[in-house]
Structure 1
Amino acid sequence: MLQASEPQARTTTFGGRPIGHDERVLTPRPWTEAQSLWARELLDTVPAGPVLEVCAGAGHIGLLAVAGTGRHLVQVDADLHACVWASRNARVWGVDSDIRHGAMAEALMPDERFALVIADPPYLPSDGVSEFPEDPLTAIDGGSDGLDLARECLTVIGRHLVRGGAALLQLRDEAQGRELAVDAAACGLSIDESRQFDGGAVLLLRRTTEG
């Protein structure tokens, strides 16, 4: 009987360091280094406290953001394979990261608060995922309008971001950000800035209510 072969481990350089992954995990996109570097800049301005990354995948964006800062990192992903790779990568990088497998809203304790939240949800509409057959479906399918998981990220950010903290939400483009303005406000958040990169967009969110 033929047996399925184990996925081959791959290495992608991200921020000058190796990130391990395989075909079951989304390959790190080079442009997302810009999100990591923006997050790192924000760490100089936000309160003391840990950093949260949801929809973390192989963990590269959060790892590059906090490496060398001494900040504790919590990384959450619903895919077990992604969590395994995120854990391995954290060890290689020497980053203190708490990897949690599960739905983002269920993986956090109600009283946990974070100075910075990084959110990297899938954002393609379901009817467009066939254009990317090499990518794991769970890492790119954002539901009918591409924003199902992004809305979940807003809910988590609204619940767990400290007053004076900041959050960075990755999207396909700035147009998606405009679509989320009402959802963000309903979660007690404002969109302070958006940046379009060659590959995606990132929103900067801050609290408008007490956290």
Structure 2
Amino acid sequence: MPAPTPERTPATSPETSLRRMGFGPLEIAYDDSVLEPRPWTQAQSLWARELLDAAPAGRVLELCAGVGHIGLLAVHGTDRSIACVDLSPRAVELLVANAEANAMAAQVDVVHTDLARLPLDEERFALVVADPPWVPSAEVGRYPADPTLAIDGGPQGLDVARACIRAAGACLAGDGLLVLQLGTPEQAASLAPDLAAAGLRTVEVRALERGTLVRADRL
């Protein structure tokens, strides 16, 4: 995947509205226009980091990256590079700033694009990590503080997750790995046919404080 300069857009809120939080050893900036990083999602980063020890050579790909906290922590302190993909111009802007603020700019490429456009070239990745929106559309109103784009997963909460699975199937190396975050174990189970169609299979499911992680490998 190339490393284009991401589309930059003016901040949707003034600099004073930026907030920062610790995410492991990282400091992550965000604002009200993007999804606030959830501390418990560090578990996804740490599992991905653990799996990298046995993953094939190559870069990591993060889908639905948001401000980058999960992917950045997954490769922090390693010699792996990461390509981070998101649809939100503001999230991309903050992701670039977070990579720079944590001295990881040389390790991170940021791509502003839609999942449907992947893969962008012939590169195949050792590991894909994704935290897509998984809230069913009818329940989005329960979370007024969260941007709709960042949480609306369609009627069953699985539309974007399915797009991530298709992208992972197309972008992973032959023995690559996927670590996907969802809302519930039931959502994870219902995605088994989508994983199979992408040439993947569920290996393990783990419960988070809130949410569910799925590890999938090649069939």
Per the TM superposition, whether the score is higher than 0.5 is: yes
2:193 corresponding residue in structure 1: 182
Instruction: Pick which of 101-110 and 12-21 moved more.
Output: 101-110
Deviation readout 1:123-169 (Å, 9 max, x if unpaired): 00000010000001100000011000000001001111112211101
Residue 162 of structure 1 corresponds to 173
Scaled by the length of structure 1, what TM-score is found? Answer: 0.94
2:143 is the counterpart of 1:132? yes
Q: Deviations over 1:45-104 (max 9, x none)?
A: 001100000000000000000011111110000000000011011111222111011102
Q: Give the 4+ runs in structure 1 shifted more than 2 A.
A: 4-7
Secondary structure of 1:105's counterpart equals helix
Counterpart of 1:52? Answer: 61
Shift of 1:16: 3.0
Give the letter for the 2:49 counterpart: R
Indicate if the aligned counterparts of 1:100 and 1:107 stay in contact, CA closer than 8 A: no
The 1-side partners of 2:26 and 2:193 are apart by 38
Distance 2:102 2:169 in 1: 30
Say whether 1:30 aligns with 2:39. yes
Distance 1:10 1:58, change over 3 A: same
1:4-44 CA deviation, whole Å, 9 max, x = no partner? 96371010111132100110010000110000000000010
Opposite residue 199 of structure 1, the aligned amino acid is R
Gaps of 5+ in 2: 1-11
Q: How does the TM-score come out when normalised to structure 2?
A: 0.91
- Greater relative contact order, per chain length (Cα 8 Å cut-off, separation 6+): 2
Q: How many residues were matched structurally?
A: 205
Structure 1 unaligned regions, length at least 5: none
